[in-house]
Structure 1
Amino acid sequence: YTPGEDTSREAWQKRAEAEGYFDEAKIKKKLYSLL
């Protein structure tokens, strides 16, 4: 692995996790609104 490739992949992973958390929060809000 090259340092640049490693950091770019790590940044992409962090961004994917952040988006995943936001999506999860939206889903929870939708579930609560349905209740």
Structure 2
Amino acid sequence: MSPDLFEFFRDLKENNNREWFLANKYRYENYVKDP
């Protein structure tokens, strides 16, 4: 597992809103959905 995966979830915890998620969707797709 990539450290980026854990960083994404840490950031998501601090910014759990749609606006942040849409701006960081590429991170979700690269590190969580399809690593």
If the length of structure 2 is used for normalisation, what is the TM-score?
0.38
**Which is greater in Rg?**
1
Higher RCO by CA contacts (8 Å cutoff, separation 6 or greater): 2
If the length of structure 1 is used for normalisation, what is the TM-score?
0.38
